[in-house]
Amino acid sequence: MSYSIRSEVNEILAARNGSYINGAPVFNGTDYITLQNPSSEAYISTVAVATGDDVDLAVQTSRAAFVGTWKVLTPYQRSCLISKLADLMERDGEIIAQLDCLTTGKNINLAHGLEVGQAAVFLRYFAGWATKLSGETVDTSLGATGDSGFTAYTSRAPVGVVAAILPWNFSVMIGIWKVGAALATGNTVIVKPSEYSPLAWLYIARLAEEAGIPPGVINVVNGNGATAATLVTHSEVRKITFTGSAATGEKVAIAAAKNNFKRVTLELGGKNSAAILPDVSVSDVLPKLLPAALLHQGQICASPERIFIPRAQLAEALECIKQILPAFPVGDAMDPGAFFGPLANEAHLGKVLAFYDKAKAQGRLVFGGQRLPRPGFFVEPLVVIVEDPDAGVFNEECFGPVLCVMAYDSIDELIVLMNSTPYGLTNSIWTNDLKSTQIMTKALESGTVFVNTHSMMDPALPFGGTKGSGYGREFGSAFIDDYTELRSVLMAY
């Protein structure tokens, strides 16, 4: 079953799209991004690339809104406006979900659940924080000098203009993590969506205005890597929050350091592992683990691409995988009955197919790995057994539906293998063994360790990486450090 495209969505696809700056649409550029529907390969819309002057206008108006309106509002007023945006996103959830579905190939159910439903939950979480920021009073260690005493306290100050650079895989929800965090802490924000998913944020910027958020507080600048790089080097941008590949993250970190040491949060790639421990049965775990690993065609930064199986259960695990994967319903992103849809764009399809070739050469084929003979960027998932832990496919991120299976013999060996990757975003262990859980959750080098689940996110629990997966944390209370300056005040009396 497929459902029809809303008239509002068709209007947006046909419109003259560009950027949204200081409460108005802007399309000065002569370069255009062409958008393709990954489910059909049809060309569906174009978006003007922002010029250097557009980027400058976005930064100047964002700075003016920071000083002139957003900072002036009370925390309670900011909290109410952020919550109101969440309400409007839910009201127009169908439009937002369809825009995402049509440009990135995300299944409509997933788009509703995460890009709208969860995005609203996250926004309300941040709205709550707007009224709870505080510093602390400090008893100075030096005490009085002469007839002077000292008292001291700290407070949190917003950093100013924040640039939020987004990937295409969860363009709305990941953008909301950054926009919600920036606005709750009193900053203004310029969103630079991925060139593959620029439309939803143009719509959300309009909703922000309807919510009463003053013009310039959320600006949206569309374009490519060069557009984002201009934002990173702009002198009035005080913080970059970046989610994307490690290769681009490195460029962002270097450019930020060279441009007055801008603050940076980097949410980068991963080569995440899931390990089934010997106390549980692979036949019980794999029906839960495989859908978690292959949700959104594996294009989730937290998804596992490495699966560790106790050697004694390897044969059973391979049989299980061969039974479960062919049963995943494949279909168009707008088909609510489908689980497995197209890859997000043609360039990514090329990267995934090249990775498949490498995986088949470096591992032993268990399942899949072919492009599907139908329009759209559809592939089968690929499962290979890998024996060499140094193999490239076992250490490099595919960011697609590939699973490298490896057998292990002991928990000590398993910990070494799971940590043997340049990345450190997520790991999961599947077990009811309390002792192994305690040992492994302490030993695994990743920002998150899941137990008996994988890729679940909660606004109250910080998310971020270690090692090559970047630094900084999204949400939880940890985001406050990344979006504020801690000011110290020392008073003699």
Residues 6+ apart with CB under 8 A from 328: 291, 294, 339, 340, 381
Residue 116 contacts ligand NAD per CB under 6 A: no
Contacting ligand NAD within 346-375 (CB under 6 A): none
Residue 192 contacts ligand NAD per CB under 6 A: yes
Nearer to ligand NAD, 40 or 248 (CB): 248
| Strand 263-267 versus strand 470-471 pairing type | antiparallel
Out of 96, 204, 252, 309, the only residue in the binding site for ligand NAD (CB under 6 A) is 252
Residue 100 contacts ligand NAD per CB under 6 A: no
Residue 444 contacts ligand NAD per CB under 6 A: no
Angle between helices 171-184 and 119-129 (to 10 degrees): 10
Question: Number of residues in contact with ligand NAD, rule: CB under 6 A?
Answer: 30
Contacting ligand NAD within 424-443 (CB under 6 A): 425
Nearer to ligand NAD, 194 or 484 (CB): 194
Token pair belonging to 345: 């764009």
Other Cβ atoms within 10 Å of 60 Cβ, number: 17
Name the residue among 474, 489, 476, 488 with its Cα closest to residue 162: 474
The active-site residue, picked from 195, 267, 305, 396, is 267
Tell me the closest approach of the beta carbon of residue 211 to ligand NAD, in angstroms: 25
**String marking each residue 382-411 x if it binds ligand NAD according to CB under 6 A:** ---------------x-x------------
Out of 37, 45, 169, 428, the only residue in the binding site for ligand NAD (CB under 6 A) is 169
Please, are residues 393 and 362 in contact by the beta-carbon 8 Å criterion? Answer: yes
| Beta-bridge partner residues of 463 | 474
Q: 41 catalytic, yes or no?
A: no
Residue 245 contacts ligand NAD per CB under 6 A: yes
Tell me the closest approach of the beta carbon of residue 463 to ligand NAD, in angstroms: 7
Residue 54 contacts ligand NAD per CB under 6 A: no
Nearer to ligand NAD, 166 or 286 (CB): 166
Out of 195, 332, 380, 396, the only residue in the binding site for ligand NAD (CB under 6 A) is 195
Residue 176 contacts ligand NAD per CB under 6 A: no
Token pair belonging to 355: 């990775």
What distance, in Å, lies between the first and last C-alpha atoms of the chain? 74
Token pair belonging to 301: 């930064």
Token pair belonging to 43: 């060309």
Out of 59, 166, 292, 386, the only residue in the binding site for ligand NAD (CB under 6 A) is 166
Tell me the closest approach of the beta carbon of residue 136 to ligand NAD, in angstroms: 30
Q: 267 catalytic, yes or no?
A: yes
Out of 268, 293, 307, 349, the only residue in the binding site for ligand NAD (CB under 6 A) is 268
* Rounded Cα distance, 366 and 324, in Å: 12
- State the maximum Cα–Cα separation within the chain, in Å, rounded to a whole number: 85
Out of 19, 185, 248, 484, the only residue in the binding site for ligand NAD (CB under 6 A) is 248
The active-site residue, picked from 101, 301, 320, 404, is 301
**String marking each residue 72-91 x if it binds ligand NAD according to CB under 6 A:** --------------------
Tell me the closest approach of the beta carbon of residue 149 to ligand NAD, in angstroms: 47
**String marking each residue 133-162 x if it binds ligand NAD according to CB under 6 A:** ------------------------------
* Rounded Cα distance, 266 and 134, in Å: 25
Contacting ligand NAD within 292-321 (CB under 6 A): 301
Residues contributing to the site for ligand NAD (CB under 6 A): 165-169, 174, 192, 194-195, 224-225, 228-229, 232, 243-245, 248, 251-252, 267-270, 301, 397, 399, 425, 465, 469
Question: What residues act catalytically?
Answer: 267, 301
